[in-house]
Structure 1
Amino acid sequence: MKIGFIGLGNVGGKLAGSLLRNGFDLTVHDLDAELVASFVAKGAKSTTGPLALMQDCDAVITCLPSPAASAAVVEAMMPAVNADKIWMEMSTTDEGEIKRLAAMVIERGGSAMECPVSGGCHRADTGNISIFAGCDRATFERMLPTLTTLGRRVLHTGEIGTASVLKVMTNYLATANLLTCCEALVTMKAAGVDMNITYEAMKISSGTSFVHETESQLILNGSRDVSFTMDLVKKDIGLFQKIADQAGVPLEISPLMVEIFNDGIARFGERELSPNIIRRLEEATGLSITAPGFPSELFDDEPEEDGYEVIPTGLSAPVSSTAKV
């Protein structure tokens, strides 16, 4: 199968790298010619744009920074979509927009899948990231070998739209964890507790989280480089708030989180690294939240392993749509 990949940024470049590393026939496209050239040097092919990519490939993956960017790309490649083509959206996007674009692909006879990832850029780099896949079961099974190369744990979430909703939810939770970690670290520093001991106390206790065990390390190092920026956080938590508003859920914490990141962007800029939201508290207290011995960037120290489909607790494994009965 020939795979096309559009969007070689912080996440997309690592995901595309997993396909190339595992021997896939890969063609890439990005507005940054240097990124494309780096992939071509490693054995990928290049193309002139989205339309040519869809013409030449069996499946095209998009991993882009905004719903508007995805829409522009998908609409550009639409004339080449037919019954043999698959579009796979790996961006974090809006449920309504993914449904709209998927309907256009399906109307032309093609197949569509949303497959956002979760687990950090460092795990995207090793193929150990988690993937949510929203699509019909037949398309899921057809693309499962590709998905289990891109990630380790793959969850079929149901129809188009469900994966985007779940992905936005997980990013909301990660942001809530980040903000509480920031408050905990600054409060312990102000109380005179050693930061290295504070980190370990949080890590070995009921207060730990994935965000603490990753992003807190980068905060304490001072680099804060998690390859994610405040504008992207604002987009994701805004999408979660939109889901809640549409469902009539009167959230209390979410609006405050949106307010905090709006303030962070006003102070530090929309492209500021997201863990630097702690600077609001550092400036308010005059404290510097750093400690020796922590890394400046994250690396996945788990070996790359074969991926697999995750079967939800309490549910039975689905019968394959291709199984003979």
Structure 2
Amino acid sequence: MKVGFIGLGNVGGKLSGSLLRNGINLTVLDLNPDLVAEFVAQGAQTVGSPAELMRTCDAVITCLPSPAASDAVMQDMLPEVTTGKIWMEMSTTDEAEVRRLGAQVIDAGGAAVDCPVSGGCHRAATGNISIFAGCDRATFDRIAPLLKTMGRRILHTGELGSASVLKVVTNYLATANLVTCCEALVTAKAAGMDLNTTYEALKMSSGTSFVHETESQVILNGSRDISFTMDLVKKDVGLFQEVAERNNVPLEISPMLCKIFDDGIAKYGERCFSPNIIKRLEDATGLDIRAPGFPPELQDDEPEEPGYEVIPNGPTAAKL
């Protein structure tokens, strides 16, 4: 299968890198010519436009920063969608929008999948990230080899759009956990606790989480670098809020998180790394939430392994 990939940013560059590293026939596009040149130097091909990419590839993957960006790319590609073509949307996007664009692809004879990822850029780099996939089963079976090349745990979530709902749900939870981890670390420091000891206590307790075990490390290092920025958090929590509002769910914490990140963006800038949301509390208390021995960036220490499908049948879920 010849694969096109549009969007070589923090996540897309790593996902497409896994495809290229594992021998997939890959053609890439990005607004940044330097990123494209890096991939071409490693053996990828490139073309002049999204339309040409769709015309010359069997499947085209998009991994873009906003629903508007995905729409602009799709409008260029749509005239080239024919029977058998596949559009794979790996962006974090609005489920209503992916269904709208996917319907246009399906009407033109193609297939559409929303397949966002979860687990952090460090796992995207090694091919060990988790991937949700929303589409009909026949399409899932066609793209499963690609998904298993880019990720380790692959979950078929149901119809088109279902993966995007679950993606913003998981990002909402990660954001809520980030904010509470920040509050916990600052409160522990204010109470006179050693932060290295605090990190280990949280890690070995009922209060631990993926966010604590990963993002708390770069918070304590002081780099706060997880290759994810405050504007993206605001977008993702906003998408979650929209899902809740469409379904008449009266949320309380989600609007508060939106306000917290609005304040963080106003103070530190929208491109500030998202764990720097802790600076609001550092500034308010005068405390420095850093400790020795933590890394400046997250690294996935698990070896790259072939992906597998997770079957949702409870806590003892099987894998294929």
Same fold by TM-score greater than 0.5: yes
Task: Report the counterpart of residue 39 of structure 1 in structure 2.
Answer: 39
Aligned equivalent of 2:6 = 6
Please list every run of 5 or more consecutive structure 1 residues that lacks an aligned counterpart in the other structure: 321-325
1:69 counterpart letter in structure 2? A
Match of 2:257, as an amino acid?
M
Report the CA distance between 1:316 and its aligned residue: 11
Q: Deviations over 1:211-251 (max 9, x none)?
A: 00000000000000100000000000011111111111111
Moved more, 243-252 or 154-163: 243-252
1:312 aligns with 2:312: yes
Q: Distance in 1 between matches of 2:201 and 2:276?
A: 22
What pairs with 1:82-121 in structure 2 (closer than 5 Å)?
A: 82-121=82-121
TM-score (norm 1): 0.96
Q: Aligned AA for 2:149?
A: T
Deviating more after overlay: 175-184 vs 245-254: 245-254
Secondary structure of the 2:26 match is: strand
Q: Which runs of 5+ in 2 are unaligned?
A: none
* Residue aligning to 2:189: 189
Indicate the SS of the match to 1:154: strand
2: distance between equivalents of 1:16 and 1:97?
Answer: 23
User: Which residue in 2 is equivalent to 1:68?
Assistant: 68
The residue type paired with residue 70 of structure 1 is S
- Structure 1 Cα separation of the partners of residues 66 and 152 of structure 2: 25
2:90 is matched by which residue type in structure 1? M
2:125 alignment counterpart: 125
Q: Counterparts in 2 of 1:1-325, with a 5 A limit? A: 1-314=1-314
Post-superposition shift, 1:313?
2.1
* Structure 2 letter corresponding to 1:167: K
How many angstroms apart in 1 are the aligned matches of 2:75 and 2:317? 35
1:323 maps to none
Judging changes above 3 Å, is the alpha-carbon distance between structure 1 residues 286 and 301 closer, same or farther for their aligned structure 2 residues? Answer: same
Q: Alpha-carbon deviation of 1:315?
A: 10
Alpha-carbon distance between aligned partners in 2 of 1:260 and 1:30, rounded to the nearest angstrom: 32
Mapped to 2, the partners of 1:127 and 1:201 lie a distance apart of 30
Q: Following the alignment from structure 2 to structure 1, what is the Cα–Cα distance between the partners of residues 298 and 316?
A: 36
Please report the RMSD computed on the Cα atoms of aligned residues, expressed in angstroms.
Answer: 1.4
Equivalents in 1 of 2:315, 2:121: separation in Å?
Answer: 30
Deviation string, structure 1 residues 94-128 (Cα, Å, up to 9, x no partner): 01110010000000000110100000000000000
SS in 2 for 1:125: helix
| Greater mean alpha carbon deviation, residues 166-175 or residues 259-268 | 259-268
User: Which residue type is aligned with residue 51 of structure 1?
Assistant: A
Could you tell me how far 1:314 is from its partner in structure 2? 4.2
